[in-house]
Structure 1
Amino acid sequence: MATIDHLILNVNDIISSVNFYVDILGFKLEGEDGPFTVIRLNEDFTLQLAPWGTGGNEHFAFALSRQDFDDAFARMKEKGIPYGDSFHTVGNNKGPGVETGARGPAPTLYMNDPNNHLIEIRTYD
């Protein structure tokens, strides 16, 4: 079964955004990870706030079982869908890479959907 692992969200004002997600919605400020301010919603999902213009783009990251990850990777290669080992290398057709998500570092692949949204898949298995 797939789950949403994390979402990178571009924001105009980190401080007011943190205040909203923590003070109003009751989520937990986890800290900084590179350019991102990490807000934890639960043990399996984080919201990563990024100042507008931060590399990495807004994207959805899906956590898959190892089998589903391997199957999706095989289908991507079979269909010739460009992929990459990090968010800024889609099209290098290398990977998987390793990036940090809601449950820590894990093998990851990045690609664009048909609407050019950046999508990340990862497995913790």
Structure 2
Amino acid sequence: MAIELDHLILAVNERDTSLAFYTHILGLSHEKEGDQGPFSMLRVTPAFVIQMAAWGTTGGEHLAFAMSRAEFDAAFARIKAAGIAYGDRFDTVGNMQGPGDEAALGGMGIGKAVYFFDPNKHLLEIRHYETT
């Protein structure tokens, strides 16, 4: 069996605000039956979840989400409709340009990307690859 990332714990400031952001903007599913103790479960893929915990944070984490072109276009439209500042590179959030040609290799190579911050100041990236 290949090693796979099963889950990660993401510290947030306000659980409900963060859940609303990740479900509405990114389209992740909140699996309430997986909530336990301080953790709220967000399904990313069939084999990977984010366990969100309201432990407080100053931000600074970086999460990159690869998706199909259709999913990317839909998420990017929701980002723009919500008035969320975005950029074409990790260091240009707020320039309202993008998607950018991502020069850094992701898990599947080079792709198109948009960067923005979640309500906790975690840097998020959505990307798609020309083959998806």
How does the TM-score come out when normalised to structure 2? 0.50
| 1:111 aligns with one of 116, 123, 128 | 116
Question: Is structure 2 residue 92 aligned with structure 1 residue 93?
Answer: no
Distance across 2 between alignment mates of 1:76 and 1:121 = 11
Distance across 2 between alignment mates of 1:72 and 1:98 = 17
Runs of 4+ in 1 over 4 A off after TM superposition: none
**RMSD, aligned CA:** 1.5
1:103 offset after TM fit, Å?
Answer: 1.1
Look up the SS of the partner of 2:65 in the other structure: strand
Where do 5+ consecutive residues of structure 1 fail to align? 5-56
The count of corresponding residues between Structure 1 and Structure 2 is 70
1:58 offset after TM fit, Å?
Answer: 4.2
How does the TM-score come out when normalised to structure 1? 0.53
More strand by share: 1
- Deviation digits for residues 9-44 of structure 1 (CA, Å, limit 9, x no counterpart): xxxxxxxxxxxxxxxxxxxxxxxxxxxxxxxxxxxx
Residue in 2 that maps onto 1:45: none
Look up the SS of the partner of 2:115 in the other structure: strand
Distance across 1 between alignment mates of 2:118 and 2:61 = 13
Question: Is structure 2 residue 90 aligned with structure 1 residue 102?
Answer: no
Look up the SS of the partner of 2:101 in the other structure: strand
